[in-house]
Amino acid sequence: MARIDVVPANSLWQFLGYSKLPRLCYAGMPGFVPPLDVEQWMLHSRAFNPHFKLVEAQKFLASRDGKLVGRVSAQVYKDDYAPVAASRWQFGSLDAIDDIDVVRALTGAAERWLEARGADRIHGPFSPSINRELGMLVEGFESVPMFLTPWHPPYLHRHVESLGYEKARDLISYVLKKSPEEWSKRARISNRPEWRDRLEIRQIDFSRLKKGETALMSDLFNDAWRDNWGYVPFTQAEFDSIADALRVATPPEFTMVIELDNQPKAFLVAVPNFFEIIADLRGRLLPLGVMRLISRFRTHKYKTGRVLLLGLRKELQHSCDGRGNFDGGHRGAATPLCGSLY
């Protein structure tokens, strides 16, 4: 059997190979839509993603007979940014062909790198962080693909588990389906007289994204999630780094800030599911993809979207009973797509 070579992905050409690796391995698999290479560049580049200022990180590429067959990343958080209850030593972006020896070689490379930096416990996949693409898909492989949500083939989690990794947490995505009539209904709580004059719902002001709005979102997000397992602060620099993309990609009506008694208490940012318009581009914008994307971006009527960012002040969490009364807990039901952390 040909030898599997795993090397640090430090050169430009290795980085480009690392970024396009998923579409090389998973092309044609049901449920998989290749992300755009440029989006992968922004996600994994030290120059574009401020996340990498919080960690020491290393990317690895696996090849066999000169052909790329897998990738993985390893990172350790600096002391000031230790995740809540989770390990500072993490792996992520694990993608590979259906070969347990390839997966073993990749995880082994990440483990050795992390152990050399003091690791006694490893969690993942964080790709590259809990605030971006998170977890490994274990159910829902052929469900509607969702932009900025990790996708893995059915064999990958089996290989990882066979190598001794165990589930640390369940990560569940919920699919909410509503009719146009339901979407047009005004929220029940905003119709109640005792709340009508105290609540104000506005859109995020895109003209002030880096002049106050990203700072507000950072504050609300971090207050909302600060006690959750794996939490790492989502810095304003990270919010600023995605601000220009939000301005281009997100319609204002896909955003909201909720104020109670003139004080911001919650926010939400959703994005259209761009997989609807990039599925046939195979991850590449050149030579004709750019023009196709521009045309579709202007005219496409999206059927699906994803809540990208959400934050509710800690003081108001678990305070609504689902009928507009702030006096109890509320539980919702929907169709789950499941992922796991190891």
Q: What is the mean pLDDT of residues 256-284?
A: 92
Cα(274)–Cα(94) distance, rounded to whole angstroms?
23
> How far is the C-alpha of 318 from the C-alpha of 206, rounded, in Å?
30
Domain 10-171 fold is Aminopeptidase (3.40.630)
More confident residue, 334 or 197: 197
Residue with tokens 């926010």: 267
Answer whether residue 329 shows pLDDT above 70.
Answer: no
The region of weakest confidence among 64-73, 114-123, 239-248, 267-276 is 239-248
> Please, what is the average pLDDT of the chain?
89
Local confidence band at 292 (pLDDT 50, 70, 90 cut-offs):
confident
- Count other C-beta atoms under 10 Å from residue 197's C-beta: 8
- One-letter identity of residue 36: L
DSSP E strand boundaries for 47-108: 55-64, 67-77, 89-96
Query: Structural domain boundaries of the chain?
Result: 10-171, 180-341
Alpha helices (H) in 126-185, listed in sequence order = 154-162, 180-184
CB proximity list for 103: less than 8 A, separation 6 or greater? 70, 94, 96, 156, 159, 160, 163
pLDDT for res 323 = 52
Q: Return the CATH architecture of domain 180-341.
A: 3-Layer(aba) Sandwich (3.40)
Q: Which parts of the chain are beta strand (E)?
A: 4-8, 55-64, 67-77, 89-96, 126-127, 133-134, 136-137, 169-175, 199-202, 255-260, 263-272, 305-312, 335-341
Q: Which two tokens mark 127?
A: 């790709």
Which contiguous run of DSSP H or E holds residue 188?
helix 188-191
DSSP SS3 for 223: helix
Structure tokens at 52: 């990498």
List the one residue out of 189, 168, 159, 16 whose CA is nearest residue 87: 168
For 203-257, the pLDDT digits (tens) are 999 999 999 999 999 999 999 999 999 999 999 999 999 888 888 888 889 999 9
What distance in Å separates the CA atoms of residue 91 and residue 77, rounded to the nearest whole number?
11
267 vs 174 pLDDT, higher one: 267
Of residues 142 and 98, which shows the higher confidence score?
98
What confidence score (pLDDT) does residue 187 get?
67
Q: Using CA atoms, how far apart are residues 11 and 128, in angstroms rounded to an integer?
A: 19
Question: What pLDDT is recorded for position 320?
Answer: 61
Is the entire prediction scored with pTM above 0.85?
yes
214 φ, ψ (degrees, to nearest 5): -70, -35
For the segment 135-157, the average pLDDT, to the nearest whole number, is 92
Query: Cβ–Cβ contacts within 10 Å for residue 128, how many?
Result: 23
111 pLDDT more than 50: yes
Q: pLDDT tier at 169 (50, 70, 90 boundaries)?
A: very high
